[in-house]
Structure 1
Amino acid sequence: MHNINLGQLVSFAVVGVGATLTHALAFHVLYAWVDVTQLPANIIGFLVAFCVSYLGQFKWTFKTEAQAATCQKKAFMRFAKTAAIGLLLNLAWAGITIDWLGLHHYVYLALLMFVTPVVIFLLNKFWVFK
């Protein structure tokens, strides 16, 4: 099992914050300014953020593990599955907070920015790049 080191945690946070802000900004612009409903706004935000996350995590945070992976395709597929889990988690947050409870979309954005990234880091560290 891999240990978590501070440098890797910091680089994950930098990339993750960038990807999360990308998703949050795209969602906010589409949902609040363009009047797109939350589901398509989330999917578009996710797709843009996925590109940011993929490049940052494969090329910086988990570069050593990615290069050492015996199968790059398998690592990418795990990464994509992990990202899909993050998307589903965020869609659940949005459905509960916005659609079901009728809360302001900022409540959803707080969950998207502070809870989902922890889940994604743990999945990347201990499953995708193991």
Structure 2
Amino acid sequence: MFGKLATQIGWFVIVGCAAAATHWAVAVACVAWAGMAPLVANVAGWLVAFGVSFAGHYRLTFRHQHAPLRRAAGRFFLVSALGFAINETAYATLLRLTSIPYDILLALVLIGIAGMTFILGRCWAFRHNR
């Protein structure tokens, strides 16, 4: 049991880092190159990163749970949207309250959402009802 959990956590970290890096890079590029406001750019980053995150978690992190693709996609979208809502709220609040640069602040917020995503992904989104 612990071996499977350790493997899932390992893949979760790898996939999560890839998705977070994608999210961060897209958001920063949208600010720097397209002149978007950071909160709008954050939405674009999340939408692109969702594809990276779902594909990686479905194929790698939670593959042993054998969840049906369509159900897992819908559920994981809800988990991701909840995480994003918390992310956007925290990000907006912290942008107003601190002088931390927007890109560093976004990286900190993204890390903060990861634990919730793992638990909800493992226990609900990718769970296979037998």
TM score, norm. by length of structure 1: 0.85
- Correspondence for 2:26: 26
Structure 1's consecutive aligned runs of 4 or more residues displaced over 4 angstroms after TM superposition are none
Q: Does 1:55 align with 2:30?
A: no
Deviations 1:86-123 (A, max 9, x none): 1111111221111x2153211232121x2111111111
- Correspondence for 2:97: 101
Instruction: Please identify, of 10-19 and 38-47, the stretch whose mean Cα deviation from structure 2 is larger.
Output: 38-47
Segments of 5+ residues of structure 2 without an aligned counterpart are none
- Correspondence for 1:36: 36
- Correspondence for 1:111: 109
CA distance in 2, matches of 1:63, 1:20: 20
CA distance in 2, matches of 1:110, 1:32: 19
CA distance in 2, matches of 1:30, 1:72: 31
Confirm or deny: 8 A CA contact 1:38 1:94 kept in the other structure. no
CA distance in 2, matches of 1:15, 1:118: 13
Superposed displacement of residue 34, structure 1 = 3.3
CA distance in 2, matches of 1:108, 1:20: 10
Confirm or deny: 8 A CA contact 2:58 2:126 kept in the other structure. no
Instruction: Please identify, of 89-98 and 8-17, the stretch whose mean Cα deviation from structure 2 is larger.
Output: 89-98
Superposed displacement of residue 33, structure 1 = 4.4
CA distance in 1, matches of 2:71, 2:124: 11
Segments of 5+ residues of structure 1 without an aligned counterpart are none
1:57-96 matched pairs, under 5 angstroms: 57-65=57-65, 67=66, 69=67, 71-96=68-93
AA aligned opposite 1:101 = L
AA aligned opposite 1:56 = G
Identity of matched residues, %: 28
AA aligned opposite 1:96 = T
